[in-house]
Amino acid sequence: MDSKPSSSEVSFEFPTLFRIYKDGRTERLMGTETVPPSTDPTTGVQSKDIVLSPQSGLSARIFLPKLPDPTRKLPLLIFIHGGAFVIESPYSPLYHNHVSLLASEANVVALSVHYRRAPEHPLPVAFEDSWDAVQWAAAHSNRNGPEAWLNDRVDFDRVFIGGDSAGATLTHHVVRQAGLYGLSGTRIVGMILFHPFFVNDKPGKLLEVIYPTCEGSDDARVWPGKDPKLGEIGCGRVLVFVAEKDFLRDRGRAYYEALKKSGYGGVVEIVESEGEGHVFHLFNPSCDKAVDLVRKVVFFINQD
C-alpha cells in the first residue's frame, strides 16, 4: 500500500487555528481574511497601509480619526494583534474594525503592527518585530520620520501600547524593553492588556513548536511573573482586562498580582467581564460588555 505523499502528511496541528505539514507548509485554518484600508463612512476614520522595514517586511496599518482641528496633536496607540502568534493581522476584519473603533472613540492615531508570524518565523521574531515597530514610531518624535500622520498629528508625550491575547504578551515585552533601555523622545503613559496570553507552569505544545528556544516558564517574554525586572516596565499606568469564561483568565490575574508585588511604582487596574470568553469584544463589539470595555479604554487614555 502506497503511503500518502509528504505534502499531505501533517506534522503538527493546533485545532481550529493552523496545521504544519511535513514538507514545511503551513495552513492557517482561520484569520486569513483581509479588508483594504479605507475611510469609515460613519466615523470618518481614515486608514492606510505602510511599510516599516523593507528588509524584514515589517509593516502596519495606521488609523487617523476625523477631528475638526487639523493642528491638534493626538495620543498615539500602538496596537499589537493576537492570534496565538500565528493567525490574524491588522488587515483582518476583526482587527481593522476594532482598531478603527478605538481610534474613533478615544481620538487617537493608531498604529496596528503586522509582525512576522510563526511558525514560518519562529518566536522570538514577533517580539523583535514589535520592539522594532515601537522604536520606528518613536523615531518620529523629531518630526522628520517617514510617516506624515505621525510627524504631524501625534503628541509623543502621550503614547499608549496595547494588544490582545498573544499581542498582549508582545505588548508587555515592548513596554519592558522601553523601561530597561529607554525610548528617546517618547513617553509611554500606559499599557493595555486585553486577555493576555502568558505561560503559567510550562510552555505547552504550541510554544514548543513555534518557540523552540523558549526557556520555559522562566522565560520573561512569555511569563513575566518570575521576571526580577518586572517592576521596571516603562509606563506609569497599566490596565489588564480578563474575562470570566476565558481559559487564560487566571494568567491575567496572576500577572496583575505579580506586578503589584514587584515594586512597580505606577498604577495597575484589572477589569473582569463576567460571563464572557476570550476576546469576546472582537466578535461581538456591539454587546453591552464590549461597549463598556471600549469605554474603559477611552477613559484610560484620556484621563490625564
246 is catalytic: yes
Instruction: Break the chain down into helix, strand, coil percent, rounded to 5.
Output: 35, 25, 40
| Element at 288 (helix H, strand E) | helix 288-302
81 is catalytic: no
3-class DSSP string for 8-58: HCEEEEECCCEEEECCCCEEECCCCCCCCCCECCCCCCEEEEEEEECCCCE
Q: Out of 98, 246, 273, 281, pick the active-site residue.
A: 246
The answer to whether residues 112 and 79 touch, using CB atoms and an 8 Å cutoff, is: yes
Please state, in angstroms and rounded to a whole number, the distance separating the CA atoms of residues 26 and 8. Answer: 11
Cis peptide before 285 (omega within 30 of 0): no
Q: Out of 81, 96, 114, 278, pick the active-site residue.
A: 278
Within 10 angstroms of residue 217's Cβ, the number of other Cβ atoms is: 15
User: Which candidate, 208, 228, 209, places its Cα nearest to that of 220?
Assistant: 228
The answer to whether residues 224 and 230 touch, using CB atoms and an 8 Å cutoff, is: yes
155 is catalytic: no
Q: Out of 112, 165, 262, 273, pick the active-site residue.
A: 165
| Element at 273 (helix H, strand E) | strand 267-273
The answer to whether residues 58 and 52 touch, using CB atoms and an 8 Å cutoff, is: yes
Catalytic residues: 165, 246, 278
